[in-house]
Chains A and B, each alone.
Chain A
Amino acid sequence: MKKILLVTGIIFALGIIIFIPGKRMAREHVNLKTAVTDHPLLCTNCHLHMHKRSPFARFDQADYLSPLNLAVSNDGKLVYIAAQDGNALLVADVEKGKVIRKIPVGNKPHSVIVDKAGKNAYVSNQWSDNVFVINLDNYQITDTLLTGNGPAGLSLSSDEKSLYVVNSYSSDLTVIDLESGIEIKRLTTGNNPTGATLSPDGSDLYVTSRRADIAQYGEPLVSQLTVVNDKSKRIKTYLGMESAYLMENVAFTPAGDLAVVTLIRPKNMVPSIQVERGFMMTHGIGIIEQKENGRIIQLLTDEPNAYYPDPFDIVISPDGKRAFISNSGVNTITVVDIDSVKALIAESTPEMLKLWPDHLGISSRYVIKRISTGANPKGLALSPDGQTLYVAEHLEDRIAVISADNMETVKTIDLDGPGRITVTRKGRRLLNNAGRTFQTQYSCYTCHPDEHEDGLVYNMASKDMGRNITNTQSLRDISDTPPFKWNGKNQTVFKQDGMRFSTVLTRTEPFPYPDLDAISSYIMTGIKYPPNLGFNPAGKLTEAQRRGKTVFERTKDNLGNVIPENNRCITCHPSPYYTNLKQVDVKTLAASDDSILFDTPHLNNIYASPPYLHDGRASTLEEIWTIYGKEDKHGLVGDMTKNQLNDLIEYLKSLRSPDYDGKSTQIHEAALNH
């Protein structure tokens, strides 16, 4: 007994001796790795959830489906669902309430539409740059139509002889002749277009855009709604939606008297620290009267002290009475009474119509119901009789079936996803949800749509009273590129999204650590770059890109003089992420900025992130050097010919994630050649 007590005592004493310094060491280790001092000492947080290449990472992965958009069969019995992460078109039987078919499609399917006869479905594969044509009798893929970069929204022409494909990444509209299957023209649209809907009379196609026209800080924000004449297949007009962006989708009233888009009105010119005063981001609809000299009117669907962020899709009932809007950021469907909207517009003076876009209280006049849904509702579709609304619950792997009359959820269709919620999936839900922001004004998604960036420049006023006008940065594939923030002040995502995040951006309690760990896990492991199919589809550089690579890696100028090492492109931007992870001064600090160095940004998929430089002053890659690099402090360019600069730009546009340099390349080549 004594021996046992002695051994136990020794072990206990040793334990205490080891525990105290061990805990201290663990604390120091965690502090070092998280860059905060109070993160719980839980090994799995980092070693299981934060490393995308860890052998343990697979335990935190599951094959989710993530339904994005959907369409209903003409008889109303089937729902066709574009499963974004499942790379499949799912066919769900409404009556049976289950999936009866899973048709593999390309990478990241975005939208699905069905022709009038119900014979064919068209599925846009956003990461494959093509559209699949699927025979709905036998569910066979009968054709692959090549498109521009990032095909998203789809629409058939009124005579169904042409297919319109919205190219979300290349910001244009592909017109495909369906008889030959060939793209016959490409029309320039607004910035980052997504949704496309043909007017009820078939005369015009409306195409929404998510990003605003590129503008310097202080200039008015305008996003373009592109109107295409269906007969001529030419652009009829661009309708500028002022002070708004993220116009995801558009719908028409059946009578065709109104077109309605979803939108967000950002207040990016006021210091972001003003969130607690409300009104930082407001959300609503844009109404375009379909008559000569028709007005464009904006109305909010928010309420005082309660915001309904990230409106994604909109459908209008066949009787034209109700509009249903999915508010992805708060898991809600907002129901708008169209007659009330019309009455409000009719009785409003021009002055009042100028007031309504910023009036949080006016929504009580026309919002008649908020319907709760599962996580992150996205695409909507109404049954042909208008009785049933289907909602793609994006991060729930489920379809909500809602009675359009009663405005109640009657059932859900489970899509047979993994069922369990991993830490990363939880993080993705958090990133797409506004629940942690003061009065639910916005989610991370709002400024980082598709986990990228919104192209806006914000006033990130700091405690040092610098204005710090900064360009939103992408969240894609950033795990290997610390430190974070434009000035590299945050060494880790834990720090970036921890206490300071709540102090400056959300103005509520900070994320509790389980949530912070989950969102950090998602950011560090779950967000990938789209393949760079527009400029580097298969890892083979063009002639111009090869010449540009030589310029990028040069050590001597055109006169043969050695370029100082710290002024060569390759020094600060080495592959594979094209950053040396250090801070540097490239002499573009604004007078109003805090005096500080810049974090060297990573360059993969840089083509997709205009405007450029920390405050977005350069509208294009060229302007970085033609206008803002004349002193040769941001690399030596003064000796370059225009040809050399163009080659350099072409090379920069070709940069892509190293993830696509191996197996993935083959996959994408296969997709391209499908």
Chain B
Amino acid sequence: MKKLIRNQYFRIAAIAVMIVGTLSMGFSHNDKSEGSTKAAQASDLALKSDSGNGSVNGDKLTGVKGELPPVPVYGKWRNFTTKDGLPSDKAYCVRIDGDRVFAGTHDGLAVYQNGKWKTYTTKDGLAHNGVVSVDVSELTGDVWIGTLGGLSRWSAGKFETFNQFNSGMPNDLVYMVICVGKDVWCATGGGVGHYDTFTKEWEIFTEKNAPMHEPWTYGVSAGDGKIYIAAWGGGVIEYNTKTKQFRDYTDPDGFMEIDLQPNDGVVHDITTATSWADGILWVSTYFGMSRYDGKYWKGYFDHDSGLASNFINFLRAEGPVVFACSDRGLSSTNGESWVTYKKNDNNENGVAILTNGKEKKEIPLTPSIAHNFIIGVDREDGVLWVATSKGVSRGEIIK
């Protein structure tokens, strides 16, 4: 046997078999993926994934498996600008809270209730007029507002400001704030801050005490007892709130320009947002989007999916569907099927582009979303609100 192994021809033959075998596996995978895509049928308005068409290998590689629920299509868009009462057309975020909607704008916080917008600014006690993130505590009803000049707690009409000077806040540039039970988490320009509303104690996570590349963080989300931090240049930092242990997810190939090895991890180390729902972690970057089911990563790009653009400012997952806010429209997906909303350049109309594999279908929208540069999104009870560079849009599920 040893003789056989030492034999030069045998070794060449073995290597050749290995190469051919590996290549064959790749073709086999591609064939099956394509096959499943072809088999997928787009419904009229709501797309349904069709992962049950023998894409076993594909499922394992991508992490997308099982019967996926449909991606709803939103229409009947109504757009709000300064003419309708917004303090600014430049909207940074939206958050729905029952019968009211919060819109963070460049010139203050706008609250939509009973068909009217009301604006709150620094004159009312807001930390800064540039409102980039809003979340509502389910426990207390307090509204937490991330601004470009600190964090505000808005409780029953009373503003209280936390900033880097008067509190343990890491930094005044608050890109994202979320409420998780009694805790408030915020992603800032100086690290992630954690505020315990019971003990009133601040914790800060930066490159000094967490596996971050630098303290700049853009996003934070929560799910399954973990906090997911979108860290600039550091990929995703996962923090287990029970064990207080960190784990980081970075782009394994390390390339800044391209995603060299598909589905090997988060597509890029410069992450802009994370969102966790239904056991899936979604991650946005300026170079594409990633999906992680706890075992497998899958990357999505504008050239191989229905994604509007690789430049994604923000995303929010609601149940099985994630909404990705990009510089060229809003995309929503369940991981396989896509609905992307785009506005026409020359008028207020646009389209909803339904994509499933290579199959595409366009539904005209009159009007469409307010603008294609989108920074914020939220969904509740069949209604979708979108923050754009030219106002706030509200859409309803089309049935």
User: Which residue numbers of A lie inside 8 Å of B, CB to CB?
Assistant: 148, 170, 185-188, 224, 227, 232, 234-238, 534, 544, 619-620, 622-623, 626-627, 641-643, 646, 649-650
Give chain A nearest CB distance to B362 CB in angstroms: 45
Give chain B nearest CB distance to A485 CB in angstroms: 28
Q: Which partner residue on chain B sits nearest A240 by CB separation?
A: B158
- Measured between alpha carbons, how far is A650 from B196 in the docked complex, in Å? 13
Decide if B298 is an interface residue (CB 8 Å cutoff): no
Interface SS of A by simple majority = mixed
Cβ contacts under 8 Å, B155 to chain A: 188, 235, 238
- Measured between alpha carbons, how far is A37 from B160 in the docked complex, in Å? 51
- Measured between alpha carbons, how far is A224 from B156 in the docked complex, in Å? 12
Give chain A nearest CB distance to B116 CB in angstroms: 19
Q: Decide yes or no: A185 and B139 within 8 Å by CB, A643-B204, A643-B208 being known contacts.
A: yes
Would you list the 4 A-B pairs with minimal beta carbon distance, nearest first? A234-B141, A626-B165, A235-B156, A646-B168
Give chain A nearest CB distance to B290 CB in angstroms: 30
Query: What are 28 A-B contacts with C-beta separation under 8 Å?
Result: A170-B200, A185-B139, A185-B140, A185-B182, A186-B182, A186-B197, A188-B140, A188-B153, A188-B160, A234-B140, A235-B140, A235-B141, A235-B142, A235-B156, A236-B156, A237-B157, A238-B155, A238-B158, A622-B167, A626-B165, A626-B166, A627-B165, A642-B164, A642-B168, A642-B190, A642-B204, A646-B203, A646-B204
Interface residues of B in 117-156 (CB under 8 A from A): 139-142, 153, 155-156
Interface size class of B (residues with CB under 8 A): 20 to 34
- Measured between alpha carbons, how far is A234 from B155 in the docked complex, in Å? 9
Cβ contacts under 8 Å, A643 to chain B: 204, 206, 208-209
Cβ contacts under 8 Å, B141 to chain A: 232, 234-235
Q: Decide yes or no: A623 and B157 within 8 Å by CB, A188-B197, A643-B209 being known contacts.
A: no
- Measured between alpha carbons, how far is A284 from B204 in the docked complex, in Å? 45
Q: Which partner residue on chain B sits nearest A644 by CB separation?
A: B208
Cβ contacts under 8 Å, B182 to chain A: 185-186
- Measured between alpha carbons, how far is A627 from B208 in the docked complex, in Å? 24
Decide if B201 is an interface residue (CB 8 Å cutoff): yes
- Measured between alpha carbons, how far is A237 from B141 in the docked complex, in Å? 11
Q: Which partner residue on chain A sits nearest B215 by CB separation?
A: A642
Cβ contacts under 8 Å, A623 to chain B: 165-166
Cβ contacts under 8 Å, A185 to chain B: 139-140, 182
Q: Decide yes or no: A646 and B158 within 8 Å by CB, A185-B140, A235-B140, A641-B208 being known contacts.
A: no
- Measured between alpha carbons, how far is A236 from B157 in the docked complex, in Å? 9
A620 contact from B167, B170, B199, Cβ within 8 A: B167
Q: Decide yes or no: A188 and B204 within 8 Å by CB, A534-B199, A622-B165 being known contacts.
A: no
Q: Are A186 and B198 in contact (CB under 8 A)?
A: yes
- Measured between alpha carbons, how far is A232 from B204 in the docked complex, in Å? 32
Besides A236-B156, A622-B166, 12 other A-B contacts (C-beta < 8 A): A224-B158, A235-B140, A237-B157, A619-B166, A623-B166, A626-B164, A626-B166, A641-B206, A642-B168, A642-B171, A643-B209, A649-B168
- Measured between alpha carbons, how far is A642 from B140 in the docked complex, in Å? 29
- Measured between alpha carbons, how far is A641 from B205 in the docked complex, in Å? 12
- Measured between alpha carbons, how far is A13 from B241 in the docked complex, in Å? 84
Cβ contacts under 8 Å, A620 to chain B: 166-167
Give chain A nearest CB distance to B237 CB in angstroms: 16
- Measured between alpha carbons, how far is A238 from B160 in the docked complex, in Å? 12
Q: Decide yes or no: A622 and B198 within 8 Å by CB, A237-B157, A238-B157, A641-B208 being known contacts.
A: no
Give chain A nearest CB distance to B59 CB in angstroms: 42
Q: Which partner residue on chain B sits nearest A618 by CB separation?
A: B166
Decide if B301 is an interface residue (CB 8 Å cutoff): no
Cβ contacts under 8 Å, B199 to chain A: 534
Interface residues of B in 153-183 (CB under 8 A from A): 153, 155-158, 160, 164-168, 170-171, 182
Cβ contacts under 8 Å, A148 to chain B: 198
- Measured between alpha carbons, how far is A530 from B166 in the docked complex, in Å? 25
Cβ contacts under 8 Å, B208 to chain A: 641, 643
Cβ contacts under 8 Å, B139 to chain A: 185
Decide if B296 is an interface residue (CB 8 Å cutoff): no
- Measured between alpha carbons, how far is A224 from B167 in the docked complex, in Å? 21
Cβ contacts under 8 Å, A235 to chain B: 140-142, 155-156
User: Which residue numbers of B lie inside 8 Å of A, CB to CB?
Assistant: 139-142, 153, 155-158, 160, 164-168, 170-171, 182, 190-191, 197-204, 206, 208-209
| Residue from B190, B202, B208 with most neighbouring chain A CB atoms (10 Å) | B202
Q: Are B170 and A642 in contact (CB under 8 A)?
A: yes
Q: Are A237 and B197 in contact (CB under 8 A)?
A: no
- Measured between alpha carbons, how far is A153 from B170 in the docked complex, in Å? 35
Cβ contacts under 8 Å, B156 to chain A: 227, 234-238
Cβ contacts under 8 Å, A646 to chain B: 168, 202-204
Cβ contacts under 8 Å, B190 to chain A: 642
| Residue from B168, B182, B190, B203 with most neighbouring chain A CB atoms (10 Å) | B168
Give chain A nearest CB distance to B125 CB in angstroms: 11
Cβ contacts under 8 Å, A650 to chain B: 201
- Measured between alpha carbons, how far is A622 from B169 in the docked complex, in Å? 10
| Residue from A235, A237, A534 with most neighbouring chain B CB atoms (10 Å) | A235
Cβ contacts under 8 Å, A232 to chain B: 141
Q: Which partner residue on chain B sits nearest A534 by CB separation?
A: B199
Cβ contacts under 8 Å, A626 to chain B: 164-166
- Measured between alpha carbons, how far is A170 from B197 in the docked complex, in Å? 10
- Measured between alpha carbons, how far is A641 from B191 in the docked complex, in Å? 12
Cβ contacts under 8 Å, B197 to chain A: 186, 188
- Measured between alpha carbons, how far is A237 from B201 in the docked complex, in Å? 25
Cβ contacts under 8 Å, A622 to chain B: 165-168
Give chain B nearest CB distance to A287 CB in angstroms: 21
Q: Which partner residue on chain B sits nearest A542 by CB separation?
A: B201
A187 contact from B140, B168, B191, B201, Cβ within 8 A: B140
- Measured between alpha carbons, how far is A649 from B199 in the docked complex, in Å? 14
- Measured between alpha carbons, how far is A626 from B171 in the docked complex, in Å? 12
Cβ contacts under 8 Å, B166 to chain A: 619-620, 622-623, 626
Q: Which partner residue on chain A sits nearest B204 by CB separation?
A: A643
- Measured between alpha carbons, how far is A347 from B264 in the docked complex, in Å? 78
- Measured between alpha carbons, how far is A235 from B206 in the docked complex, in Å? 34
Cβ contacts under 8 Å, A237 to chain B: 156-157
Cβ contacts under 8 Å, B168 to chain A: 622, 642, 646, 649
| Residue from B155, B157, B197 with most neighbouring chain A CB atoms (10 Å) | B155
- Measured between alpha carbons, how far is A643 from B182 in the docked complex, in Å? 22
Give chain A nearest CB distance to B166 CB in angstroms: 5
| Residue from B142, B158, B197 with most neighbouring chain A CB atoms (10 Å) | B158
Cβ contacts under 8 Å, A186 to chain B: 140, 182, 197-198
- Measured between alpha carbons, how far is A65 from B114 in the docked complex, in Å? 56
Cβ contacts under 8 Å, A227 to chain B: 156
- Measured between alpha carbons, how far is A227 from B197 in the docked complex, in Å? 19
Q: Which partner residue on chain A sits nearest B208 by CB separation?
A: A643
- Measured between alpha carbons, how far is A649 from B164 in the docked complex, in Å? 13
Give chain A nearest CB distance to B309 CB in angstroms: 35
- Measured between alpha carbons, how far is A227 from B165 in the docked complex, in Å? 30
| Residue from B160, B165, B171, B197 with most neighbouring chain A CB atoms (10 Å) | B165
Cβ contacts under 8 Å, B191 to chain A: 642
- Measured between alpha carbons, how far is A620 from B163 in the docked complex, in Å? 11
Give chain B nearest CB distance to A294 CB in angstroms: 15
Cβ contacts under 8 Å, A187 to chain B: 140
- Measured between alpha carbons, how far is A627 from B202 in the docked complex, in Å? 19
- Measured between alpha carbons, how far is A185 from B182 in the docked complex, in Å? 8
- Measured between alpha carbons, how far is A149 from B190 in the docked complex, in Å? 31
Cβ contacts under 8 Å, B171 to chain A: 642
Give chain A nearest CB distance to B256 CB in angstroms: 28
Give chain B nearest CB distance to A610 CB in angstroms: 10
Q: Which partner residue on chain A sits nearest B190 by CB separation?
A: A642
- Measured between alpha carbons, how far is A649 from B168 in the docked complex, in Å? 9
Give chain B nearest CB distance to A527 CB in angstroms: 26
Q: Which partner residue on chain B sits nearest A641 by CB separation?
A: B208
Cβ contacts under 8 Å, B206 to chain A: 641-643
- Measured between alpha carbons, how far is A237 from B156 in the docked complex, in Å? 5
- Measured between alpha carbons, how far is A488 from B190 in the docked complex, in Å? 40
Cβ contacts under 8 Å, A236 to chain B: 156
Give chain A nearest CB distance to B163 CB in angstroms: 9
